[in-house]
């Protein structure tokens, strides 16, 4: 189904948008199309034609001078409407200076408006034909786009009698000329086109008399009656089928199609007992079905009756299809399994339009495959002169730009199906152009491109539902040393392990260790949301950092301002936010001059700003901080210093500020949002269990995280602290008015205890550093735990550049680096792991120093990348894009030993059957339950012939990559399989393939008899058809057990019949019902040449319906053929 983006997009107007039109709006649009519109038409040359819809035949006509129809196209064959100005037809004329000279147009005038240009894609082969049009106005273009899509949808939904009437109109309009009559002479020349011969001229004359023709001329109604007689002529014998067996009925007169009738009750019994239609118990539904085929309105009553001609018409109609449409419906619940549990519609060398050696490469091949439901497409990438190109290397196939291909993919990837598309990239580019490819993929697909695992800990692939709208890259990935675990099946790595790779125990350094960079860095603490100073060294591609340095402050209450309501800490957008808050606060309250707030400086570490409301505006001033001999000083001017921020604020509340034009007292203040006093800081819990306390502390991945909770016993408390990743609990009790901790320490208040051990070591090297408040727990839960997880797992060697002061180490060689302005600092450097999770963020007080550290880190990473790329020939940028489809190259006999769910293995189509293959099918099935595999055609198939995908599907291989441009039996099987589940391109494998504990379903038997046909296609002459029926795949040695043929019938493709002992039924034994297909093949044969396939229809056996059924036929490209059908009898036989 076509989706419904805006008119500017490449696809226009879907069925759901059609539903928004009123009947009146629809009528006006269709009327506009019927009247015709003059447009510029681009073909071999640009010409103006009147473009008109002929409703009687459901065709689009180009009408030239003197109302001459020069071209028609069937709406039945219309596949896509695309609105754009860049299609090749438009480009060709835009770029032609000759074209401009002929029409006397400037270059600007000839440039088409994208909203007035559109292209109709139509046809019944793999590569579609196109008709490009340019309307004179946007309104005209939109009406045509909307109207044609409406008619396309209505044509697809039309009932068989409507299609017959349209078909007859087309036959009557000889040479595309509108006519309301047809002569005997014209009819004689028409009969070969209708695929039938008649005995002689007398036969036609008699039929003319029967339908009431005058002067050997038929009007349309008489022509329709003639057709009814003609089609009935050879098939009246079919009615004998229903005179015996269950629900039999007797027809007294079968000479003419209207000579006898079938009442409602008989037809209902036929549906119930012959066709096994349980819905037919509802008489109203039976009546509705009958009225579709009744041509006489007088008989459309509550108790309708079929004429025998109408009954036969029903039997051959698509409304009586052999296929149960419920199997074509999408089941959303079936889309929640891991990706490896599905067969995935896949294409080989998707860009090619023909053979593998000389054919054209085209972006339209990608479009066609995607719109046919393909979900895995291939891109063969090679170095181009200026940019990467796609073609079949080493051949004479043409080249297309990689950029053009991905743009086409982006425009059409999710039109037919919303489920993920896998881009299978066969890489032949050097690393330089691989980087170009990576950037193009990012630029074109943007957020559609999957670059991170949905769940790094998952042991199975995500589901199609989880990956809706995503583009997945299949490509080689630079391997890690710990790619697999001991068992060889690392379906997912934990977050903990990802850190152990980076924050790992370092071995003994070299004696002459080279220090690449050393100095002081300010490292961001995501728990406290502030920077701390650390001594740091870069050596041997690793960053070592010390414990945070004492900052001379916490003495004499210099940090008491942290607990004051007027202190707002760090504010997003600094002075802009402060100005807005003060303005809103004071303006609404007639604020007085001197209203203030204090915040951390945007630009300077350990400095502050005071924002003051004065004279109806906000002024900002810097509060300086300095430290000497461990004593802090705060000051507005160097003339008067204060030991704490609180002392400074209190002084200026009592005394005038005389500074920089100010002359006022500090008065009221703007309180901090959600302010909590220092007596209620949040680390104390009056009602919290020990288990919950441990849960809270485990969420804060920092040693020194702590909380105090009230115990159930009176006057007893518990201090819980995280120490080396373990939660330890210490008893606190009250005795003689004091709080006693661990029977050693005594404090008058719990606050004093916390303040003491925030300054002094509590146990080992641990202080009470991180009060675990409810607000902190909530924030950490909302953030990615990995952003805070590094410190816990940084095991530091004793012999390191910082000695015993070293707190942690980061392996830069396993990192990515980024830099930007954040946290109020002009430049912050961020080190990330390969999953782009933040490990450490740092800056310096001097901007130039930050840049120096960044360059050292960048040089290390670039050097490592260059070495890896030279070794693997894979660009890191491409490698980083590969998440769930990591292409792995291994021999067949070792490929199933070590694997994980993110890998993809590729096999030639004969790998599983060639001699020397020792792999057991169970091993392959087990692999395919966890990971993905792709099977592709072997090299000698230069004609683009396909392999039989059934053996691969039977082994659970998800992606059997076929050449979509080749119309062969194996593509019929592919089309049949992926007609299931709504044509989404994903079909859930049977339960026994997904779960080794489940058994295969039991065998089945199905009996097939070919009875007759109607409207078989013909190309140049009247055909002599026969029908071949096959059960695929063959699972035994005898071919005759899996196929049979009817006899030849000479010179009749309109209404042949195969009855009698020479055409007996065939009973097939179905060994594997989940993966069995019934293929009907109509061919023309004679004694002098090989049979030529005219039509086919292929269905999964699981959806075949019982009874007398129509088989709607398709062409070799699996495109529907108008009215062509077989009549067969199907019987499911109990084994």
**Residues known to be catalytic:** 348, 392
**Do the Cβ atoms of 21 and 142 come closer than 8 Å?**
no
CA distance 1028 to 175: 35
Q: DSSP 3-state assignment of 507?
A: coil
| CA-closest candidate to residue 423, choices 80, 910, 884 | 884
Integer angstrom CA distances of residue 42 from 93, 147, 719: 8, 21, 82
Which residues contact residue 875 at a Cβ distance below 8 angstroms, ignoring those fewer than 6 apart? 431, 432, 434, 435, 438, 869
Q: What is the 3-state secondary structure (H, E, C) of 727-740?
A: EEEEEEEEECCEEE
Q: Compute the distance between CA of residue 801 and CA of residue 544 in angstroms, rounded to an integer.
A: 8
CA distance to 368, 372, 407, 416, 578, per residue, from 1 (Å): 14, 10, 21, 6, 54
User: Which residue has tokens 């999964």?
Assistant: 1100
Burial of residue 509 (number of CB atoms within 10 Å: 0-12, 13-18, 19+): middle
Work out the burial of residue 1102: count CB atoms within 10 Å of its CB; fewer than 13 is exposed, 13-18 middle, 19 or more buried.
middle
| Widest distance between CA atoms in the chain | 129
**Residue pair 1045/1063 in contact by the 8 Å Cβ criterion:** no
End-to-end C-alpha distance for the chain, whole angstroms: 39
Query: Is 340 within 8 Å of 900 (Cβ atoms)?
Result: no
Cis before 1033 (ω within 30): yes
CB 110 within 8 A of CB 95: no
Q: How many CA atoms lie within 13 A of 890 on its CB side?
A: 15
Q: Would you tell me the crossing angle of helices 160-172 and 308-315 to the nearest 10 degrees?
A: 100
DSSP three-state, residue 937: coil
Q: Please give the C-alpha separations between residue 1130 and each of 274, 392, 973, 1104, in angstroms, as whole numbers.
A: 10, 45, 20, 8
Tell me the CB-side half-sphere exposure of residue 511, using CA atoms within 13 A: 0
Question: How many Cβ atoms are within 10 Å of 891's Cβ, its own excluded?
Answer: 7
Helix 431-445 with 402-412: angle, nearest 10 deg: 30
Three-state SS string over 654-703 comes to: HCCEEECCEEECCCCECCCCCCCCHHHCCCEECCCCHHHHHHHHHHCCCC
What is the residue whose two structure tokens read 């583009």? 471
Nearest to residue 111, comparing CAs of 87, 140, 91, 138? 91
């Amino acid at each position: 189904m076509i989706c419904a983006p805006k008119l500017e997009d490449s696809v226009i107007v879907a069925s759901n948008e059609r539903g928004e039109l009123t009947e009146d709006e629809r009528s006006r649009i269709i009327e506009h199309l019927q009247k015709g519109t003059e447009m510029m038409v681009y073909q071999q040359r640009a010409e103006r034609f009147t473009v008109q819809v002929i409703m009687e035949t459901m065709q689009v006509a180009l009408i030239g001078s003197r109302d001459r129809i020069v071209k028609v196209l069937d709406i039945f064959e219309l596949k896509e409407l695309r609105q754009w100005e860049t299609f090749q037809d438009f480009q060709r004329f835009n770029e032609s200076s000759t074209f401009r000279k002929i029409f006397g147009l400037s270059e600007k005038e000839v440039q088409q408006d994208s909203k007035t240009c559109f292209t109709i894609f139509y046809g019944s082969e793999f590569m579609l034909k196109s008709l490009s049009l340019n309307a004179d106005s946007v309104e005209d273009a939109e009406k045509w786009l909307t109207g044609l899509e409406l008619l396309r949808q209505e044509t697809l939904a039309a009932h068989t009698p409507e299609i017959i009437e349209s078909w007859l109109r087309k036959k009557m309009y000889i040479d595309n000329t509108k006519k309301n009559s047809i002569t005997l002479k014209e009819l004689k020349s028409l009969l070969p086109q209708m695929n039938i011969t008649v005995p002689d001229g007398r036969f036609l004359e008699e039929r003319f008399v029967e339908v009431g023709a005058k002067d050997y001329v038929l009007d349309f109604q008489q022509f329709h009656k003639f057709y009814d007689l003609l089609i009935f002529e050879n098939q009246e014998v079919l009615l004998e089928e229903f005179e015996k067996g269950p629900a039999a009925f007797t027809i007294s007169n079968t000479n003419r199609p209207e000579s006898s009738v079938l009442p409602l009750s008989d037809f209902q019994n036929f549906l119930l007992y012959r066709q096994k239609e349980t819905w037919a118990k509802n008489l109203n539904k039976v009546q509705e079905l009958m009225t579709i085929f009744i041509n006489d309105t007088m008989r459309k009553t509550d108790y309708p009756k079929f004429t025998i001609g109408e009954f036969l018409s029903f039997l051959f109609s698509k409304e009586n299809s052999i296929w149960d449409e419920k199997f074509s419906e999408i089941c959303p619940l079936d889309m929640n399994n891991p990706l490896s549990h599905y067969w995935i519609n896949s294409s080989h060398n998707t860009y090619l339009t023909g053979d593998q050696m000389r054919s054209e490469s085209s972006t339209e091949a990608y479009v066609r495959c995607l719109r046919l439901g393909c979900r895995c497409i291939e891109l063969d990438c090679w170095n181009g002169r200026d940019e990467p190109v796609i073609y079949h290397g080493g051949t004479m196939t043409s080249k297309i730009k990689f950029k053009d291909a991905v743009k086409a993919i982006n425009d059409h990837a999710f039109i037919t199906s919303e489920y993920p598309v896998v881009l299978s990239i066969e890489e032949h580019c050097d690393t330089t152009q691989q980087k170009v490819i990576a950037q193009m993929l990012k630029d074109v697909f943007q957020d559609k491109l999957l670059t991170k695992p949905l769940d790094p800990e998952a042991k199975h692939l995500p589901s199609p539902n989880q990956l809706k709208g995503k583009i997945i890259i299949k490509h080689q990935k630079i391997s890690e040393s710990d790619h697999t675990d001991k068992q060889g099946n690392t379906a997912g790595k934990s977050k903990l392990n990802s850190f152990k790779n980076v924050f790992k125990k370092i071995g003994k350094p070299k004696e002459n260790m080279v220090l690449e960079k050393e100095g002081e860095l300010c490292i961001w603490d995501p728990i406290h949301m502030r920077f701390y100073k650390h001594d740091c060294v870069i050596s041997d591609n690793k960053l070592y950092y010390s414990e945070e340095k004492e900052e001379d402050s916490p003495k004499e209450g210099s940090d008491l301002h942290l607990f004051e309501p007027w202190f707002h800490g760090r504010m997003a957008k600094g002075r802009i936010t402060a100005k807005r808050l003060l303005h809103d606060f004071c303006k609404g309250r007639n604020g007085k001059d001197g209203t203030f707030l204090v915040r951390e400086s945007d630009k300077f570490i350990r400095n502050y700003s005071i924002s003051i409301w004065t004279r109806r505006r906000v002024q900002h001033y810097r509060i300086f901080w300095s430290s000497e001999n461990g004593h802090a000083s705060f000051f507005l001017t160097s003339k008067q210093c204060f030991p704490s921020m609180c002392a400074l604020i209190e002084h200026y509340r009592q005394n005038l500020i005389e500074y920089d034009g100010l002359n006022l007292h500090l008065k009221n203040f703007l309180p901090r949002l959600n302010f909590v006093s220092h007596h209620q800081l949040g680390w104390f819990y009056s009602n919290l269990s020990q288990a919950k306390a441990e849960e809270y502390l485990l969420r804060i991945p920092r040693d020194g995280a702590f909380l105090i909770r009230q115990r159930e016993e009176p006057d007893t408390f518990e201090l819980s602290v995280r120490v080396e990743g373990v939660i330890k609990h210490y008893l606190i009790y009250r005795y003689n008015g004091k709080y006693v901790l661990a029977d050693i320490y005594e404090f008058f208040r719990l606050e004093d205890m916390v303040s003491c051990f925030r300054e002094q070591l509590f146990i080992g090297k641990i202080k009470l550093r991180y009060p675990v408040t409810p607000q902190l727990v909530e924030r950490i839960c909302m953030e990615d735990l990995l952003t805070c997880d590094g410190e816990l797992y940084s095991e530091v060697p004793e012999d390191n550049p910082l000695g015993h002061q070293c707190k942690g180490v980061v392996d830069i060689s396993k990192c990515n680096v980024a830099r930007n302005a954040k946290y109020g600092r002009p430049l912050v450097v961020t080190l990330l792991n390969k999953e782009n999770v933040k490990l450490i963020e740092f800056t310096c007080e001097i901007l130039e120093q930050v840049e120096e550290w960044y360059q050292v880190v960048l040089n290390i990473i670039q050097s490592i990348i260059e070495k890896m790329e030279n070794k693997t020939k894979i660009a890191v940028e491409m490698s980083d894009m590969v998440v769930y489809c990591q292409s792995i190259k291994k021999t067949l006999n070792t490929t199933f030993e070590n694997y994980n769910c993110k890998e993809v293995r590729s096999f030639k189509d004969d790998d599983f059957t060639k001699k020397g293959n020792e792999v057991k099918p169970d091993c392959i099935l087990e692999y395919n339950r966890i990971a993905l595999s792709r099977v592709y055609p072997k090299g000698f198939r230069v004609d683009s012939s396909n392999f039989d995908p059934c053996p691969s599907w039977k082994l659970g291989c998800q992606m059997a990559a076929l050449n979509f441009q080749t119309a062969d039996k194996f593509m019929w099987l592919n089309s049949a399989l992926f007609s299931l589940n709504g044509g989404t391109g994903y079909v859930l494998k049977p339960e026994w393939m997904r779960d080794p504990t489940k058994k295969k379903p039991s065998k089945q038997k199905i009996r097939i008899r070919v009875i007759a046909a109607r409207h078989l296609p013909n190309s140049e002459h009247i055909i002599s058809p026969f029908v071949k029926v096959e059960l695929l795949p063959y699972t035994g040695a005898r071919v005759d057990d899996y196929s049979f043929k009817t006899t030849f019938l000479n010179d009749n493709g309109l209404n042949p019949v195969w009855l009698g002992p020479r055409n007996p039924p065939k009973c097939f034994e179905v060994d594997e019902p989940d993966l069995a297909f019934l293929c009907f093949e109509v061919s023309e044969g004679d004694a002098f040449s090989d049979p030529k396939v005219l039509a086919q229809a292929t269905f999964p056996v699981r959806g075949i319906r019982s009874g007398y059924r129509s088989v709607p036929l398709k062409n070799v490209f699996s495109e529907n053929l108008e009215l062509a059908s077989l009549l067969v009898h199907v019987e499911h036989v109990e084994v």
